[in-house]
Amino acid sequence: MAEQFKRLDRKLVYHGHIVDFYEDTMQVPNGNIVKWDFIKHNGAAAVVPVLDDGRILMVKQYRNALDKEIWEIPAGGLNGQEPFIECSHRELEEETGYHCELEDMEFLISIASTVAFCNERIDVYVAKNLVKTSQHLDEDEFINVKPYTTDELKKMIFSGEIQDAKTIASIMSYINKYECDKHN
């Protein structure tokens, strides 16, 4: 099916700090020529930080697109060609003030966040054996950190308190993978 779609042109409309916005001219299977938006993102990584008691560290920060503070798992954009796991490891300590060894991180899932118009990929890792250090926030970051049980997080998801897609997918994947394993 993909061979029936042909990109005829891609024009940069805006170069931003985090994303680039393009207008694509596409030929679709019936031969029509259409304009589609495309947002290029360099990728991101996220982490589900699990304390020794099983609680998960969540971060609350202001998100401009929603104009409010939201609870989410720690995440951040890749620096250049940085490997996803290294980005996840860096963001863990920067945002939560906890550290772990790279070997204490395990790949969980890869998420395509907004497939209709953006190529952002987020690889998510689980971090265990956490050691308290200190946050290293960027100058524009103001983050609160709080641990929650998985039962509390499920309630927050189903009540609508947690709405961030990467966080919902990651928490539910974590629960399915790790808590289901405990019962089998």
CATH number for the domain including 174? 3.90.79.10
pTM comes to: 0.90
The token duo for 175 is 């629960």
Best CA proximity match to 58, nearest among 128, 144, 164: 144
Per-residue pLDDT, 29: 93
Instruction: Please check whether residues 6 and 89 belong to one and the same domain.
Output: no
Instruction: Please check whether residues 77 and 134 belong to one and the same domain.
Output: yes
| Per-residue confidence band for 122, with pLDDT thresholds at 50, 70 and 90 | very high
Instruction: Please check whether residues 59 and 127 belong to one and the same domain.
Output: yes
CA dist 7 and 26 (Å) reads: 5
Over residues 145-172, the pLDDT tens digits come to 999 999 999 999 999 999 999 999 999 9
The token duo for 80 is 């250049």
Instruction: Please check whether residues 23 and 84 belong to one and the same domain.
Output: no
Q: 139 catalytic, yes or no?
A: yes
Range of the domain at 19: 2-40
Instruction: Please check whether residues 70 and 126 belong to one and the same domain.
Output: yes
Q: What is the DSSP-derived secondary structure letter of residue 60?
A: E
Catalytic residue among 139, 152, 161, 179: 139
Instruction: Please check whether residues 99 and 110 belong to one and the same domain.
Output: yes
Number of domains in the chain: 2
For helices 165-174 and 150-158, what crossing angle results, to 10°?
140
Instruction: Please check whether residues 80 and 34 belong to one and the same domain.
Output: no
Instruction: Please check whether residues 33 and 91 belong to one and the same domain.
Output: no
